Amino acid sequence: MNTRMGGIVCLIVFLLSTGVQGCAYLLNIGPLTMPDPGLHAVAPYALATGQTLNPVISQRDQIGNIRRIQPIQAPASLIGEHTHARNATVTGILYTDGSFFSRDEQREQQYQSLTADATFISGNGRSNQYPPLAYLPQSIGMRVALNARRSMWTVLQWGRYANLLAFMIAAGTAILLAGRARWMLCMVGMNPVSVFCASSLMGDATLIAAGMLTVGLFIRLLDHPDGRFARLLPIPLGVLALLFATKIVYLPLLVPFLAVPSRHSVLRRFVTGLLVLLPALVLLAWWSIRYQYVPIGLGVKLASNRTWIVSHPIRTMIVISANMLAYVQREPFSSMLSLLMPVLIALFFLYARRPVVLPSGGEAERSTRRYHRRLNRVFQPFMPIIDWASAYRFTICTVLSCALSLGLMFGSLLVTWTPTASLTRGIPVLPGFQERYLWPLLPLLALPAWDARRDRQKNLRKIC
């Protein structure tokens, strides 16, 4: 089977599986049954109704934390006290109501509440917790339903339809770009966790699709290092950077692009990458300073936690590292292991295939060899280390990207969810980490298959 036909077959399998699962979740799971419904249902509604930039009110709580509250006008069935929303983790929902034949226990109550005559109130949702770009697909579907004067149930359902459709388009594009890693990305995209997020109002689906697109573009660049695609690459990378900026912990997913064999030096690629990231970082900084709401755990004082982290950097790294390692021993990881098995099996077959030979020839390859010869005299004492790092560059970048992302995740939990008092008694367990946070990182696991093997080092020696 040729590459193009294999990609089409893989795409069809992905679309069929995702479509069937998505329809099952749309029919059986209520629109307000998901993790953090007060965030993921309210944020796209605020964007659809033009309230995303509503003025915020700064309030100081009893401990001294400043909270930015954004009042919005919305139906009481969405932001009131009795919304019948069900706040649960993705795996918790999948293991209780995720089959094709069982229904969410709250679905009927949500239906009755959301189809009743809407009473609009002014409430304080969490619409300003993240920048709104990740909720763009959902908001488009909601806007169409609002223009058609449908009930709130239909408005939320149409937002889910749009989210699922956008995910299938973006993930399908990544599969077509991914070459021999397409089946691995297919397993990530049609995974029940990914499809549940896509068939809900959650912004996580956009981030999972962005992670898949990042790896798809990266593999496409490796297979075609020269030509128009390489020159136009900063455009999609800029869009991905804007998406990852909605949750900055995923920005390290772009790190592997610095390791692509190129005629340009690492410094030049770093500067180019910084220019691509700059708009995203500026928008993120502006949003954070002016609008962002930060959820804070009970008894947490942000100022004290920040002071402790700055004054104890080594202990902070130990706490974060220990929690990263301990997570695999806790119940949430064991419950999602079965969901990861298809991805792990696809990875096994990807790694088991013969080593990839990166394309040789072309101006990029010739310029790299000349650059290597010029610097060979300077770096001669370090050539064994350079050879090893060059041969396993993608494995190194994958580990670095995942470690940075996970470190930022647990670091943010250390700041916002862990009282300072608990830090004085051993290593605390950082609460609040959910399995869905790992899914945008899963596509990165395909990149080590593009590493050079030791018997091919002579043909692939390059300065990283």
Give the pLDDT confidence of 58-78 residue by residue, as tens digits.
888 888 888 888 999 999 889
pLDDT of amino acid 454: 39
pLDDT of amino acid 354: 58
pLDDT of amino acid 331: 59
pLDDT of amino acid 333: 66
Residue 389 has pLDDT above 80, yes or no: no
Of 136 and 297, the structure prediction assigns the larger pLDDT to: 136
- Where residue 417 falls among pLDDT bands split at 50, 70, 90? confident
pLDDT of amino acid 100: 54
For residue 210, give the H/E element and its range: helix 204-223
- Please tell me the least confidently modeled range out of 9-18, 29-38, 76-85, 202-211: 76-85
Of 323 and 264, the structure prediction assigns the larger pLDDT to: 323
Taking residues 253-263, what's their average pLDDT? 74
Residue 369 has pLDDT above 70, yes or no: no
Domain coordinates of the chain in residue numbers? 3-58+66-460
Angle of helix 383-391 relative to helix 393-416, nearest 10 degrees?
80
How far apart CA 127 and CA 121 sit, in angstroms, is 15
pLDDT of amino acid 456: 41
pLDDT of amino acid 226: 60
Between the alpha carbon of residue 149 and those of residues 43, 113, 155, 156, the distances in Å are 20, 17, 9, 13
Residue 25 has pLDDT above 60, yes or no: yes
- Please tell me the least confidently modeled range out of 206-215, 326-335, 451-460: 451-460
User: How high is the mean pLDDT of the chain?
Assistant: 82
Encoded tokens for 342:
């298809």
- Could you tell me whether strands 86-87 and 120-124 are parallel, antiparallel, or unpaired per DSSP bridges? unpaired
Q: Considering Cα of 76, then 78, then 84, then 87, what sign does the dihedral take?
A: negative
Of 456 and 46, the structure prediction assigns the larger pLDDT to: 46
pLDDT of amino acid 128: 87
411 contact partners, CB below 8 Å, separation of at least 6? 309, 316, 320
pLDDT of amino acid 261: 64
- Where residue 224 falls among pLDDT bands split at 50, 70, 90? confident
Residue 272 has pLDDT above 60, yes or no: yes
Print burial letters for 301-314: b (CB count within 10 Å at least 16), e (below 16): bbebbeebbeeeee
Print burial letters for 320-333: b (CB count within 10 Å at least 16), e (below 16): bebbbeebeeeeeb
Q: For residue 405, report the phi and psi dihedrals to the nearest 5 degrees.
A: -65, -50
For residue 58, give the H/E element and its range: strand 57-60
pLDDT tens readout for residues 437-454: 999 999 999 988 888 543
Name the percent of the chain lying above pLDDT 70. 82
Residue 150 has pLDDT above 50, yes or no: yes
How far apart CA 392 and CA 7 sit, in angstroms, is 27
Q: How many CA within 13 A on the CB side of residue 114?
A: 23
Of 321 and 385, the structure prediction assigns the larger pLDDT to: 321
Of 116 and 3, the structure prediction assigns the larger pLDDT to: 116
Residue 458 has pLDDT above 50, yes or no: no
- Where residue 462 falls among pLDDT bands split at 50, 70, 90? very low
pLDDT of amino acid 378: 60
Taking residues 17-23, what's their average pLDDT? 94
Burial of 350 (0-12, 13-18, 19+ CB in 10 A): middle
| pTM reported for the whole predicted model | 0.88
**Quick count: other Cβ atoms within 10 Å of Cβ 103?**
13
pLDDT tens readout for residues 99-137: 555 788 889 999 999 988 778 888 877 888 888 888 999
**Quick count: other Cβ atoms within 10 Å of Cβ 176?**
17
Residue 172 has pLDDT above 90, yes or no: yes
Q: List, in sequence order, every residue forming a beta bridge with 68; answer none if it has no partner.
A: 58
